[in-house]
Amino acid sequence: MYRVESSGALLRAHRALASRRIQPRVSRTVVLLGICSLLTDISSEMVSAVLPLFLVTVVQLTPLQFGVIDGLYQGAAAFVRLAGGFIGDRRGRHKGVASIGYGLSAVCKLALAAVGTTFGAISAIVMIDRSGKGLRTAPRDAMISLSSREEDLGTSFGVHRALDTVGALLGPLLAFGLLALAPLAFDTLFLVSFCFAVVGLGVLVLLVREPARRAVAAAEPPVRLRAAFALLRAPRFRALFIAASVLSLATASDGFIYLFLQRSNDLDAALFPLLFTGTAVTWMLLAAPAGRLADRVGRGRVLIGGYVLLLVVYAVLLGPFSGTPALFAVLFLLGAYYAATDGVLMAIGSAYVPEALRGSGLSLLGTAVSVARLFASVLFGALWTWQGIETALAIFAGALLVAIAVAAVTLRRSPA
């Protein structure tokens, strides 16, 4: 009897070991969320790829005005993101909250096709669209982290961001193609964008499963807002929060960088959307490898390394380099910067936040980044208006160098 029981135990252990060996590093939920984001990003980037050039050259906004609009575009989702993460945690229904956010953005694409060219109406719809993005981001990232093993968080977020970036790559290409075939056919572009958004929403609603809650969760009290903000008292999370905020304050938005490239290289306006595509190609190719590297060598190191790459972008723009090689170098480095920072930051945050507060913690982190970038865009626009774009970029390069040093010291106390 003893031998039989021992043999059975050995067999069960062998099966458990085999199960761990064949368990995929990235779950089905992560892949489906990536496909949903891919389709949604095609929709979003079809619209957003032409906005900077349109606002500056067609609407003729000043750099300061564009900075305000760009900052609001990036920061509109900030406080809505807090609500999305908290509601998802409190109700334990991250998928439902994310679905509302995706649905809101889809409706806004249809609304863009209906309102015509009224700038105020378009601005309001864009703000609502960004609010939808804010509502869905934290619950989506919470589902990614809750569907992944802790040792594979960087890989999971990297794979998701890679799929997401395929959409960021295809969206501008589709916009470029549609407008090349039918110049100024913005209504058609908005309708095609709406169709992609609806399909992406369908993937989420019909195919993605809500991550299973822990068995002990039912015995715990409901998540309260005070508990979410109490995360800032945890040393490791607070250090990450501070580091992410400082780094984001010294980050010039893509719109300004692309406008710098367009002016310094005298690019035709029709080619402007392709700058977004150039960055997206690198981001797509490097997002998953950067996530795996972060899991192996330390996520904090890869995060800091990504901002060093952004500093090199500033240096190339300000240096004596010019022409096609410099343009491609900037686009490559910018894509590598995103690959090393966007998903990696959420992976670090996921490791520092308890499961019951995962959405709230990630939303706090995302809100800090969004608000900091809002102020950064307004400041950059003001500096450009006051002293010129080269001076603005030089000031941001100096600020980023200081921010990298501060963040490196801060994160060293709480290695990821």
pLDDT at residue 408 is higher than 90:
yes
> Which DSSP category does 355 fall into?
G
pLDDT of residue 104 exceeding 80, the answer is yes
User: Model pTM?
Assistant: 0.75
| Mean pLDDT, residues 46-71 | 66
Decide if 85 contacts 142 (C-beta within 8 A).
yes
Which helix or strand (DSSP H or E) is residue 350 part of? Answer: helix 323-352
The answer to whether the Cα torsion of 182, 186, 187, 191 is positive or negative is positive
Question: Kind and range of the H or E element at 287?
Answer: helix 273-297
Is 119's pLDDT higher than 70? no
Q: How does pLDDT run across 311-342, given as a tens digit for each residue?
A: 999 999 988 777 788 889 999 999 999 999 98
Residue 159 contacts residue 284 (beta carbons within 8 Å): no
- In whole angstroms, what is the distance from residue 380 CA to residue 67 CA? 7
Checking if the pLDDT of 385 tops 80, the result is yes
Q: Is a pLDDT exceeding 60 seen at residue 7?
A: no
Tokens of 282: 């690198």
pLDDT exceeding 70 applies to what percent of the chain? Answer: 79
pLDDT for the residue numbered 219: 47
pLDDT tens per residue, range 130-159 = 788 878 888 888 899 888 888 888 888 888
Confidence of residue 53 (pLDDT cuts 50, 70, 90): low
76/131 Cα distance (integer angstroms): 6
pLDDT of res. 203? 94
Least Cα distance to 112 among 89, 101, 128 occurs for: 128
**What is the structure's pLDDT at 310?**
95
pLDDT at residue 145, as a whole number: 86
Tell me the CB-side half-sphere exposure of residue 150, using CA atoms within 13 A: 10
What are the tokens at 159?
């794979």
Torsion-angle region of residue 267: left (phi > 0), alpha (psi -120 to 50) or beta?
beta
pLDDT at 124 over 80: no
pLDDT confidence of 21, banded at 50, 70, 90?
very low
**Residue of 116 and 303 predicted with greater confidence:** 303
Q: According to the model, what pLDDT value does residue 179 have?
A: 74
**pLDDT for the residue 307:** 96
Q: Exposed, middle or buried by CB within 10 Å (0-12, 13-18, 19+), for 10?
A: exposed
Q: What is the mean pLDDT of residues 19-45?
A: 80
Burial of 181 (0-12, 13-18, 19+ CB in 10 A): exposed
Question: What integer pLDDT is reported at residue 177 of this predicted model?
Answer: 84
Q: Which amino acid is at 103?
A: G
Alpha-carbon distances of 193 from 35, 60, 77, 200, 368, rounded to whole Å: 16, 25, 20, 11, 29
User: What pLDDT score was predicted for residue 216?
Assistant: 44
Q: Which of 2-11, 60-69, 236-245, 353-362 bottoms out in mean pLDDT, i.e. has the lowest?
A: 2-11
What tokens appear for 292 in the block?
Answer: 């795996």
Query: At a CB cut-off of 8 Å and minimum separation 6, what does 84 contact?
Result: 97, 98, 101, 134, 135, 136, 137, 138, 139, 359, 363
Q: What is the pLDDT of residue 213?
A: 60
Across 222-226, average pLDDT: 62
Length of the chain measured in residues: 416
pLDDT of residue 73: 64
pLDDT at 205 over 80: yes
pLDDT of 397 reads 95
**Domain 26-210+224-412 indexed as CATH 3.40.50.1370:** no
What is the average pLDDT across 293-312?
Answer: 93
More confident of the two residues 200 and 137: 200
pLDDT at 19: 44
Q: What is the mean pLDDT of residues 115-135?
A: 73
The pLDDT of residue 277: 79
The C-alpha R_g of the chain, in whole angstroms, comes to: 22
Please tell me the predicted confidence (pLDDT) of residue 6: 44
Q: Are 248 and 406 in contact (CB under 8 A)?
A: no
Share of the chain above pLDDT 90, in %: 24
Instruction: Select the highest-mean-pLDDT range: 73-82, 235-244, 347-356.
Output: 235-244
Using 50, 70 and 90 to split pLDDT, how confident is the model at 16?
Answer: very low
The confidence score (pLDDT) of residue 314 equals: 94
pLDDT for residue 411: 87
Extract the tokens encoding 78.
């900030």
pLDDT of 198 = 94
174-188: pLDDT as tens digits: 888 887 787 767 778
Please give the mean pLDDT across all residues of the chain.
Answer: 80
User: How far, in Å, CA of 350 to CA of 149, rounded?
Assistant: 11
